[in-house]
């Protein structure tokens, strides 16, 4: 069949019931950070472009942090196994949070007392543990991240500040 005939057939009424790969479906995808992306997908391949304001700033949804869990309440020092009481509290929290959210992103953080490499590993293991607990009650986990000591809430200048930096953050995507 000549190329011109193929192109013409794609714009006829029969194209309304076109097979996968011949019809694009536009949508908006929100990444785990809450930023919107325009998506065109035909089922076989597609493309994505960030949604930006006229002055070029990304369009992001604020306030995705829905859970801030101080790790001292769930984990012993230098450990990533959650306590039984901590597991129960996390399960209860996720059971309540699941109905209003499509998925969750888990981010682990530490204070600065150990090496950067050690803290990244510990925060990753703790975030993975929280994600496992979440999955055990049916939560959909989109991503698990480890920041170690790299993203403190407050300066690591006192024991009280360090305690605030030892945390697991849960981001909710609706």
Q: Are residues 109 and 72 in the same domain?
A: yes
Q: Are residues 72 and 55 in the same domain?
A: no
For residue 88, give its domain range.
Answer: 65-173
Domains contained in the chain, number: 2
* Contact indicator for 8, 39 with CB cutoff of 8 Å: no
Alpha-carbon distance 24 to 39, whole Å?
9
Q: Are residues 85 and 156 in the same domain?
A: yes
pLDDT band at 57 (very low <50, low <70, confident <90, very high): confident
Q: Are residues 46 and 123 in the same domain?
A: no
Tell if the pTM clears 0.75, that is, is over it. Answer: no
Alpha-carbon distance 10 to 77, whole Å?
63
- CATH code of the domain covering residue 107: 3.30.1330.60
* Contact indicator for 111, 155 with CB cutoff of 8 Å: no
Q: What is the mean pLDDT of residues 137-155?
A: 92
Q: Are residues 52 and 114 in the same domain?
A: no
Average pLDDT over all residues of the chain: 82
């Amino acid at each position: 069949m000549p190329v011109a005939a193929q192109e013409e057939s794609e714009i006829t009424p029969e194209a309304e019931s076109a097979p996968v790969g011949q019809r694009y479906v536009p949508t908006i995808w929100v990444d785990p950070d809450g930023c919107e992306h325009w998506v065109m997908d035909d089922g076989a391949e597609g493309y994505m472009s960030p949604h930006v304001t006229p002055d070029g700033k990304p369009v992001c949804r604020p306030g995705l942090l829905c859970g801030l869990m101080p790790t001292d309440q769930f984990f012993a020092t230098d450990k990533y196994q959650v306590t039984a009481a901590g597991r129960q509290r996390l399960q209860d929290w996720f059971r309540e949070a699941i109905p209003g959210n499509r998925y969750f992103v888990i981010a682990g953080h530490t204070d600065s007392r150990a090496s950067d490499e050690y803290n990244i590993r510990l925060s990753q293991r703790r975030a993975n543990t929280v994600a496992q607990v979440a999955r055990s009650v049916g939560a959909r986990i989109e991503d698990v991240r480890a920041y170690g000591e790299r993203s403190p809430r407050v300066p690591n200048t006192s024991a009280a500040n360090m305690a605030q930096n030892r945390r697991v953050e849960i981001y909710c995507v609706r």
